[in-house]
Amino acid sequence: MKKLLIPLAVICLLASCEKQEKKLTMMNPFFEAYNTPFEVPPFDKILNKHYLPAFEEGIKQHNAEIKIITDKTIAPDFVNTIEALDYSGSLLTSVNHVFSNLKEAFTNDSLQEIARKVAPLLSHHSDEVNLNEKLFARVKGVYDCRNSLKLNQEQSRLLEETYKRFVRGGANLPEAKKLELKKVNEELSLLDLTFGDNMLAETNSYKMVIDHKEDLSGLPESVITGAAEEAKALKMEGKWVFTLQKPSWIPFVTYAKNRTLREKIYKAMFNRGNNGNEHDNKPVINKLVNLRLQKANIMGFDSWSAYVLDDCMAKTSANVYKLLYQVWTPAIKRAKEEAQDIQNMIAKEGGHFKLESWDWWYYAEKVRKEKYDLDEEQIRPYFELNNVREGAFSVANKLYSLTFTRLKNMPLYHPECEVYEVKDGDGSEMGILYMDFFTRSSKKGGAWMTNYREQSVSADGKTIRPVVSVTCNFSKPAGDQPALLSFDEVETLFHEFGHSLHGLLSQCHYTGVSGTNVARDFVELPSQVMEHWASEPEVLRIYAKHYKTGEVIPQNLVDKIVKAGKFNQGFATVEYLAAAILDMDYHTVTKGGDIDVEQFEKNSMEKAGLIPEIIPRYKSTYFAHTFSGGGEYSSGYYSYLWAQVLDCDTFQAFKEAGSIFDPKVAKSFRTNVLERGGTDEAMKLYLNFRGKEPSIEPLLKSRGLN
């Protein structure tokens, strides 16, 4: 053997480079175990410059782990292939959890630029894994002999879901189609980012500045104070500023007497992404819809909806449309009655104009006050944010014996975050809960639950408890008042908290089927069912306390809330259904071509029979559920209604048992649904809990539509 002689200088140089590389590695917090309480992400140490190298290293490590699986010479089995695959990619997953969550909750130009670089990398890597022929051959090898394997239910489900993921990722496609799919996936990932960035920019760029105090007539003092503080923050002291964040524009269109200004801010809201500027989302939608259709066709489906629903409880677009229109018929009837009530109120006040969509909120509030002697400002003082949060915690304690303890000196990605340690009734650790409540320009709109770490059991048998996060967009405290919520915001907090319980209570072995990794139209069940407790008189008396006096909400107000609970449900149901139908219409198209977004939306709503006094909850150009966020709700916005059939039927089980805190029903729901993640078919999980298929009647009754 010929010995290779290397000059000493080169050896020193290589050693120096290796030392420098090691130093740089140690400086990146993603490259070592989190030395933090409960091993939460070290937000205080993570800088923007750390993300790209961590993504690149995460991809590199994942590729190496995949190679170990594919290079094995022994026959594939569950442990050396399926289980090994589920355990792989831990660094990449950790980085992606932190980055994607912060990009939604606390973004900046630098993060958005990193996202544009990372999106194609992740798309390419995902395709490289899903289309890896050697890897798929091993997965298929295990799948083909599944009936002879002695697998438990969770293992069987993980095997099935893993195989399905590869097939749905294109593993069975011919080589030319695989190349085409890769290109489409990369384009889709960038368009998704563009849509979200455009929407955030459009939301943040609009400011309605009011110079004259008389234009604030009708607005609650807390809203006026908040607008003054917004103006002060923008160096416009002495004026009032209203934005397109929900806690700002909704109170304005609900209470402001100035109809012209109500119209102005309402139109600005529904024209986001539709202003013909550099942030116009119409071209993005055009490309997204066509590329999704192209991907569906590559995968052998005639529409994007057919491709998406094949992996959901609904299964077909016909089933989705059937449910939507089953509820649409009574809802549009009720909405027309509500529109007439509002038109009568306009006439009663001497108005000589026809009801428009920007009038609905304002006059509906007047009708509610007249019919039920109740308005939002009467009850808002009883819904102080901290009390509402404690009310949600109390419900979880009564149902599942969980306790929530506030933690101090924890790493935070924003100083407004709160962190809680969650324990079971026996004192065992369940997980960590981050809560981030207030609106800010660096946060996308809406509310959501997400994970920083998912529950699982590690390869060495250690139970890994989850770190979950609830993010909302509530108004910050204004003046000398604490944060006071509308009842709609109360329900939002309970809803997202319900999602967090799904993640926290998970008792699964494998990440791929744990927690909220369930069918899209099943994932909303744990969240929506929690909303039922928010309005129950027994629960209201726990948390609804006046922020000044501590007085528990009076019984007469509770009675009014209950009586008014079904008020305006025609409007609320129709605006939601209109958006769900619009989503389905975009994704059931079977022929590609240029789409006139405004005309498409107009045709869709006319076909459904939407009345002009109501617009869809989300018009196309700011419909983030379907056109952003990874398209998770594309051809899936219906899932809130699908899940509501389940959640109303679930709550009916408690009612039938005689108590909304019945321990037997609560235990069954926890063990058969919340703890099980996606370890079985969604309907089987539900049947195990309920003992029968759900009925639509409780839903119609809940909305007052029967």
518-540 as b/e: b if 16+ CB within 10 A: bbbbbbbbbbbbbbbbbbbeebb
Query: What CA–CA distance (Å, rounded) separates 159 from 83?
Result: 9
Distances (CA, A) of 145 to 85, 142, 159, 165, 557: 18, 6, 11, 18, 63
Q: φ, ψ for residue 240 (rounded to 5)?
A: -130, 135
Tokens describing residue 141: 């090898």
Query: Rounded to an integer, what distance in angstroms lies between the CA atom of residue 237 and that of residue 225?
Result: 12
φ, ψ of residue 474 to 5 degrees: the values are: -95, 160
Q: Check residue 431 and report its DSSP letter.
A: E
Q: Which tokens go with 705?
A: 């539509």
Cα separation, 351 vs 338, whole angstroms: 17
CB 622 within 8 A of CB 312: no
Q: Which pair of structure tokens corresponds to residue 342?
A: 């509002």
Respond yes or no: is residue 180 known to be catalytic. no
State the Rg of the chain over Cα. 27
Q: In what helix (H) or strand (E) does residue 76 lie, and over which residues does it extend?
A: none
Tokens at residue 98, please? 């932190």
Helix (H) or strand (E) holding 100: helix 90-105
CA end-to-end distance (rounded Å), the chain: 88
Task: Match 């770490």 to its residue by tokens.
Answer: 453
For residues 46, 50, 52, 54, the Cα torsion angle rounded to the nearest 10 degrees is -90
Q: Cα separation of 177 and 170, whole Å?
A: 8
Kindly name the residue from 230, 496, 601, 675 that is annotated as catalytic: 496
Q: What is the set of active-site residues?
A: 496
